Amino acid sequence: MPKTVLLVGTRKGCFLLQSDEARRDWELRGPFCEAWPIYHAVLDPASGAIYAAAASEWHGSTVWRSPDLGETWTQSSEGLAYDGDGGRKLSKVSTLAVTPGRVLVGVEAPGIFESRDDGATWSLLTTLAGQPGSEAWDDPQNQPPGHLGVSAIMPDTDDASRFWAIVQGVGIFETTDDGESWTPRNRGLRADWPREHEEVGFCVHKLTRSPADGSRMFQQNHVGMHRSDNTAGNWTEITEGLPTEFGFAAAAHPHDRDTFYVIPLDPGHGRCMPDGRAAVWQTRDAGSSWRRLEGGLPQEDAYVGVLREAMAIDSYDVPGLYFGTSTGQVFASADEGESWSEIASYLPGISSVEVALVE
Amino acid sequence: MAELHLPSTLPPLFPGLPRRLDVDAETVGDALAQLDERWPGLHDRLCEPGPALRPHIHVYVDRERAELVTALDDRSRVDVIAAISGG
């Protein structure tokens, strides 16, 4: 029977929640990584190793690795730095992706580094240079501190040289030559602000892809939910029926190409679930309609937010859904979101939740 | 030998690294380079490319704020401080 393992990145370290296939009873372990702020933690299905992207205000950015489900940890940032030319600095490692034989990290200022030796050493793969307007939006002198970066990397499951990357406030880019060149993939997206270049200037919060149909992608944008049926070639807005157009987290059903989950939040400064009532929203028809899932979630005075990487879905026949809040609660559902239980209550603020099935 | 004091956040990252140790170095930067030879990666935890001390790492030599180029003598006391931040 496989173990179900949640990897929870928080402001004060990485935690693991472990259960079995039933996903009813959970054991919490942590904090790991010396309680460094963890922005994203993932499990390499090939090796079983956990990688955690960390950035300390004191000691800089690094990637932690555990080969044994959290029993032991090491960290390395060897090579994980810009050379300093032009004032470009690596201020944070934001996101991780594991592909066969390689670990990728997205960083601020925008760039992707890779490791081919299990995280022992790192080298710069790309800064996505040459994109429309990048001489302005990627100028280190123009950046608000700690904002512009690669916030997500989505590898293609069939083609090792193809992946997508999000640059915050700029948009989605695709490479088919392992980062040598990039193409903006933002056609059809909405932006409620002036843009200097037609292809960029979009605020993509979360990109997800259907495991059941790789041509279908969904994204939670700063302004609206969107769907693509041609692998991000163009986008169609599917916001209607949701309580707000704003949010961060999203997840795609592992077996049904039309089913997808989001957590709408109030925009502006609040960025909490609307009206203090917690809910996950589900579509089973690719965004034509939406349904509110609230069973077991707090429906009064629950002013909780969920960040970009803080919702996950497993791959069981009846998939389980999980989300972590910026105030430290983890909620789990073993029935596709119909009913929920709180499986951790007092963690530090949660940045990321990923789920892995481990034999 | 200069007397070097390190913040409590470092030893958990580098097995065998003590909080206090003696170094024979001409500058703060030389001292940190020596430590990096024994505990690879330690320099990165205190310095960013340039190199320069990380913004929230402060170094004092005999109670005076110091930089990597600050000279040491045989009786210097060097305090490496993880400055106030976070919460």
Q: Which of A255, A257, A205 is nearest to A229 (CA)?
A: A257
Q: What is the pLDDT of residue A78?
A: 96
Q: Which of A204, A134, A119 is nearest to A169 (CA)?
A: A204
User: Which CATH number, 3.10.20.30, 1.20.120.1750, 3.40.50.300, 3.90.230.10, labels domain B2-82?
Assistant: 3.10.20.30
Q: What is the pLDDT of residue A318?
A: 98
The verdict on A48 touching B (C-beta cutoff 8 Å) is no
Sheet holding A111-115, edge to edge: A92-99, A102-108, A111-115, A123-126
Residues B73-87, mean pLDDT to the nearest whole number: 87
Q: N- to C-terminal Cα distance for chain B?
A: 36
Distances (CA, A) of A150 to A170, A322, B66, B69: 10, 24, 35, 34
Provide the token pair at A84.
């300093």
Residues A180-184, mean pLDDT to the nearest whole number: 95
Residue-averaged pLDDT of chain B: 94
Residues B40-49, mean pLDDT to the nearest whole number: 95
Residue of A nearest to B83 (CA): A58
Percent of chain A's residues with pLDDT above 90? 88
CATH class of A3-358: mainly beta
State pLDDT tens for residues A148-169. Answer: 899 999 999 999 999 999 999 8
Q: Are A30 and A15 in contact (CB under 8 A)?
A: yes
Confidence of residue A140 (pLDDT cuts 50, 70, 90): confident
Per CB-CB distance under 8 Å, the chain B contacts of A57 are: 56, 85-86
Partner-chain residue, chosen from B10, B50, B86, that has the shortest CB–CB distance to A57: B86
Residues A31-58, mean pLDDT to the nearest whole number: 97
Residue indicated by tokens 């990109």: A207
Q: What is the pLDDT of residue A134?
A: 85
pLDDT above 80 (res B6): yes
* Domain residue spans of chain A: 3-358
Q: What is the pLDDT of residue B86?
A: 60
Residue of B nearest to A86 (CA): B50
Alpha carbon distance B61, B20 (integer Å): 14
Residues B14-42, mean pLDDT to the nearest whole number: 97
Provide the token pair at A31.
């904090």
Q: What is the pLDDT of residue A85?
A: 72
Q: A212: burial class by Cβ within 10 Å (0-12, 13-18, 19+)?
A: middle
- Overall size of chain B counted in residues: 87
Q: Are A18 and A27 in contact (CB under 8 A)?
A: yes
Q: Are A204 and A136 in contact (CB under 8 A)?
A: no
Residues A70-87, mean pLDDT to the nearest whole number: 90
CA distance B45 to chain A (A): 4
Amino acid symbol at A238: I
Q: What is the pLDDT of residue A26?
A: 98
**Largest alpha-carbon pair distance within chain B?**
37
State pLDDT tens for residues A36-47. Answer: 999 999 999 999
CA distance A37 to chain B (A): 10
- Upstream peptide bond of A109 is cis (omega within 30 degrees of 0): yes
Q: What is the pLDDT of residue A100?
A: 93
Residue-averaged pLDDT of chain A: 95
State pLDDT tens for residues A223-255. Answer: 999 999 999 999 999 999 999 999 999 999 999
pLDDT above 70 (res A143): no
Residues A52-81, mean pLDDT to the nearest whole number: 96
Residue indicated by tokens 């942590």: A30
* Ramachandran sector of residue A140 (left: φ over 0; alpha: ψ -120 to 50; beta: rest): alpha
Partner-chain residue, chosen from B12, B49, B57, that has the shortest CB–CB distance to A58: B57
pLDDT above 60 (res A145): no
**Largest alpha-carbon pair distance within chain A?**
54
Confidence of residue A86 (pLDDT cuts 50, 70, 90): confident
For A271, list phi and psi in degrees, rounded to 5. 55, 40
Q: What is the pLDDT of residue B85?
A: 67
Per CB-CB distance under 8 Å, the chain B contacts of A75 are: 13, 41
Amino acid symbol at B5: H
Residues B10-36, mean pLDDT to the nearest whole number: 97
Contact B13 A89 (CB under 8 A): no
ipTM: 0.89
Contact B9 A57 (CB under 8 A): no
Q: Are A305 and A271 in contact (CB under 8 A)?
A: yes
Q: What is the pLDDT of residue B87?
A: 64
